[in-house]
């Protein structure tokens, strides 16, 4: 077996190094590293008393609250495999995750039992309820000083339950003698199963190893996130998602910094929390930064931010400049996937930033551009038909990645795994290009590319031009059926309420005609007050395309 390691050590080491330092601030309550780690070890003991053991899969249906890191690191300390479920999921979605993962238990917030309990019943999964903000950090003896897992304690804590009808794990954890330390795990043991969004089909379980997650946290904490132990991170992202969970919570706890956690994102409240708690770092997606800009227009206070990080989708250069001007700190854009634990490349402090790019690969990570059609004869470099065929710098193609961050595979899906893990590379499904300096530009999802009149149109490129128009606050571009072109480019925009929508639509279309080749220009423009977004606030183009109607108004055909 490889050397013992556990993702739980992220929290353990900081608790040893600076036990009294605030690890987590939530709703006016602060938990030190010692309190958070001891609480996690109590959760581990309570789970063990319930019959769970190393290697078992434990699903989490929890909000952004202290209970999430307590249950997350508690399950990891036990050696279990954590399967986070987004708190906004509905019963059919939860049912799929529980059945597909084979989870033995679902740790479920009481406020989410209406959807979690039926899913658990349908799959025969045990439900362990918790209060939304329950800490489980107080009471009970301290961990034994000599280290190593503690032997089972005579039947464990007495069961606790109330009117919800399920055992209350947080109350059991409060009474449980904590484990002495995390159960050792091998580097290649699975730590997490994270489910993809399902935008390209049924959500798949991405298996991430302890080695991969620890390496990504350790490397990205130094660069690009450059965390210091006096940093205070504004936690705007859902902890169930890889960006908030690994880049946010994991990197923050590894660095011994402080996480100010929001239960759900709201622009004015985020700005207020950042000011109140003197936040120095913020991580978010473009929709969050747009909301912060709106909040900043109504609130003159500013937090002492040192840097901001954006991911999930491209932040238009004009918006990036506005965010930097309003928040008074540099914004670093990056790129990652659930399948890459998640970080791949980032603009980084200490290096020249390249707006419009996602910077350089992380140390230990290699990025290349491959022919998106492996059977074509246009590529150069190694690889027979159906394999990876690399393209030269400057060429547009599919982004491929290899390194310590790449997943072990999709749970229970060997064929799907074989489709994306090829010749030692991960095929990302994203289209991009690398410049001569090695900086990566992400153009779009391969499945989102619009083919209009035989030409490839990359929606992100069109969106960036649209966002340069002074009236456009947000843009989403996608393809719609067209009789002669196959697909036509359609744009949905959020703007200040126009008095004459048809005139504004024509003005915006004229704007694009002066800045884009004809085949890239939208043929129709419609307006909306709000975009459909996913768990992290990422705009869902496929939902817009599904809702599109040829009778949408206002619309301006060409």
Show the beta-strand stretches assigned E in 496-529.
Answer: 524-527
pTM greater than 0.95: no
In the chain, ranges of CATH 3.40.50.980 domains: 4-186, 223-329
* CATH class entry, domain 4-186: alpha beta
Q: Where are the alpha helices (DSSP H) in 297-388?
A: 317-327
Query: How buried is residue 392: exposed, middle or buried, by Cβ count under 10 Å (0-12/13-18/19+)?
Result: exposed
The tens digit of pLDDT for each residue in 331-371 reads: 999 999 999 999 999 999 998 888 889 999 999 999 999 99
- 519 burial type by CB count under 10 A (0-12 exposed, 13-18 middle, 19+ buried): middle
pLDDT band per the 50, 70, 90 thresholds, residue 201: low
- Report the distance separating Cα 134 and Cα 120, nearest Å: 21
* 450 pLDDT above the threshold of 50: yes
Angle between helices 459-467 and 317-327 (to 10 degrees): 50
Query: 436 by DSSP, 3-state: which?
Result: coil
Closest CA to 290 of 264, 316, 272, 312: 316
Q: So what's the pLDDT on residue 162?
A: 59
**What pLDDT, on a 0 to 100 scale, did the predictor assign at position 517?**
81
Spatial separation of the C-alpha atoms in residues 341 and 406, rounded to whole Å: 7
At 375 the pLDDT is 60
* Contact partners, residue 231, CB within 8 Å, separation at least 6: 252, 255, 257, 258, 280, 281, 306
Per-residue pLDDT at 36 exceeds 90? yes
Query: Residue 161 has what pLDDT?
Result: 52
Cβ atoms of 85 and 59 closer than 8 Å: yes
Distance CA 81, CA 72 (A): 9
Selected residue with higher pLDDT from 141 and 104 = 104
Over residues 153-186, the pLDDT tens digits come to 334 444 455 568 999 999 999 999 999 999 999 9
What's domain 223-329's architecture?
3-Layer(aba) Sandwich (3.40)
Domain span(s) for CATH 3.30.300.30 in the chain: 449-547
Q: What pLDDT was estimated at residue 496?
A: 73
Torsion sign across C-alpha atoms 138, 144, 146, 149:
negative
pLDDT-derived band at 315, boundaries 50, 70, 90: confident
Query: Cα(231)–Cα(459) distance, rounded to whole angstroms?
Result: 36
Radius of gyration of the chain, Cα coordinates, nearest whole angstrom: 24
Q: What is the pLDDT of residue 332?
A: 96
Range 449-547: architecture per CATH: 2-Layer Sandwich (3.30)
- Token pair of 359, please? 């910077």
Question: What share of the chain in percent tops pLDDT 90?
Answer: 66
Is pLDDT at 138 greater than 70 in this prediction?
no
Q: Which tokens sit at 507?
A: 């003005």
Per-residue confidence (pLDDT) for residue 419, from 0 to 100: 94
* Residue 160 confidence (pLDDT): 53
| Tokens describing residue 94 | 């939860």
558 pLDDT tier (thresholds 50, 70, 90): very low
Distance CA 441, CA 321 (A): 18
Which residue from 136, 137, 127 is spatially nearest to 170, judged by alpha carbons? 136
Tell me what the mean pLDDT of segment 457-475 comes to.
87
Question: Would you state the pLDDT for residue 551?
Answer: 54
Q: Is the pLDDT of residue 270 over 50?
A: yes
pLDDT of residue 377: 47
pLDDT confidence of residue 376: 55
Cβ atoms of 247 and 283 within 8 Å: the answer is yes
Which residue has better confidence, 387 or 211? 211
pLDDT tops 60 at residue 211: yes
Structure tokens at 551: 């009778």
Structure tokens at 503: 């005139």
The whole-number pLDDT of residue 137 equals: 54
Mean pLDDT (the chain) is: 88
pLDDT in tens, 481-513: 887 777 889 999 998 766 788 899 999 999 899
Residue 508 — φ and ψ, nearest 5°?
-70, -40
DSSP state letter for 178: P
On whether the CB atoms of residues 176 and 157 are closer than 8 A, the answer is yes
Band the pLDDT of 314: cuts 50, 70, 90: confident
Lowest mean pLDDT among 12-16, 447-451, 463-467: 447-451
Residue 446's pLDDT is: 77
Average pLDDT over residues 15-28: 97
Question: Which among 146, 161, 140 is positioned nearest to 39, based on CA atoms?
Answer: 140
| Cβ neighbours for 404, distance < 8 A, ≥ 6 positions apart | 211, 212, 215, 216, 219, 364, 365
Tokens 């700190």 identify what position?
329
pLDDT of residue 1: 35
Is the per-residue pLDDT at 464 higher than 70?
yes
Which pLDDT score is estimated for 2? 39
Between residues 146 and 96, the one the model is more confident about:
96
- Rounded mean pLDDT, 190-202: 80
Per-residue pLDDT tens digits for 373-406: 866 544 444 444 468 999 998 899 999 999 999 9
Residue 142 tokens read as: 């301290």
CA-based max dimension of the chain: 77
Say whether pLDDT at 145 is over 50. no
Give 44-64 pLDDT, tens digit per residue. 999 999 999 999 999 999 999
């Amino acid at each position: 077996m490889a050397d013992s390691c556990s993702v739980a050590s992220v929290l353990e080491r900081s608790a040893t190094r600076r036990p009294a330092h605030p690890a987590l601030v939530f709703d006016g309550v602060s938990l030190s590293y010692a309190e958070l780690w001891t609480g996690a070890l109590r959760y581990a003991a309570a789970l063990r008393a319930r019959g769970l053991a190393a290697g078992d899969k434990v699903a989490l249906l929890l909000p952004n609250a202290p209970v999430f890191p307590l249950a997350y690191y508690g399950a990891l300390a036990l050696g279990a495999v954590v399967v986070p479920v987004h708190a906004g999921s509905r019963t059919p979605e939860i049912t799929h995750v529980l059945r597909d993962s084979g989870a033995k238990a679902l740790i479920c917030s009481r406020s989410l039992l209406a959807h979690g309990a039926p899913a658990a019943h349908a799959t025969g999964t045990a439900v362990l309820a918790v209060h939304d903000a329950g800490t489980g950090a107080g009471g009970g003896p301290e961990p034994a000083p000599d280290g190593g897992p503690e032997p089972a304690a005579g039947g464990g804590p007495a069961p606790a339950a109330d009117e919800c009808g399920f055992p209350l794990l947080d109350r059991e954890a409060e009474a449980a003698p904590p484990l002495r330390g995390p159960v050792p795990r091998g580097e290649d043991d699975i730590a997490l199963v994270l489910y993809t969004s399902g935008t390209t089909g049924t959500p798949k379980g991405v298996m991430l190893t302890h080695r991969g997650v620890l390496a990504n946290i350790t490397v990205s904490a130094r660069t690009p996130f450059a965390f210091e132990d006096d940093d205070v991170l504004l936690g705007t992202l859902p902890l169930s998602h890889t960006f908030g969970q690994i880049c946010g919570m994991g990197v923050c706890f590894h660095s011994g910094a402080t996480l100010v956690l929001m239960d759900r994102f709201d622009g004015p409240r985020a700005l207020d929390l950042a000011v109140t708690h003197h936040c120095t770092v913020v991580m978010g997606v473009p929709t969050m930064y747009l909301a912060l800009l709106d909040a900043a227009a109504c609130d003159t206070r500013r937090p002492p931010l040192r840097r901001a990080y954006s991911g999930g989708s491209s932040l238009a250069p004009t918006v990036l400049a506005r965010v930097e001007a309003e928040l008074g700190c540099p914004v670093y854009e990056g790129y990652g996937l659930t399948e890459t634990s998640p970080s791949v490349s980032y603009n980084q402090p200490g290096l020249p930033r390249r707006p419009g790019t996602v910077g350089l690969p992380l140390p230990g990570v290699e990025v290349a551009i491959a022919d998106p059609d492996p059977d074509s004869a246009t590529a150069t470099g190694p690889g027979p038909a159906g394999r990876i065929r690399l393209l030269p710098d400057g060429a547009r193609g599919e982004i491929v990645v290899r390194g310590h961050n790449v997943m072990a595979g999709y749970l229970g899906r060997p064929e799907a795994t074989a489709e994306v893990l090829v010749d030692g590379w991960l095929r990302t499904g994203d289209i991009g290009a690398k410049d001569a300096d090695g900086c990566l530009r992400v153009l779009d999802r391969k499945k989102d590319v619009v083919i209009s009149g035989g030409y490839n149109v990359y929606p992100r490129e069109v969106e960036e031009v649209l966002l340069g128009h002074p009236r456009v606050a947000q843009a989403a571009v996608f393809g719609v059926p067209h009789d002669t072109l196959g697909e036509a480019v359609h744009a949905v925009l959020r703007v200040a309420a126009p008095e004459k929508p048809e005139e504004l639509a024509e003005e915006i279309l004229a704007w694009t005609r002066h800045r884009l080749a004809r085949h890239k220009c939208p043929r129709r423009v419609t307006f909306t007050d709000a975009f459909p977004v996913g768990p992290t606030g990422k705009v869902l183009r496929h939902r817009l395309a599904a809702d599109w109607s040829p009778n949408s108004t206002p619309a301006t055909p060409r």
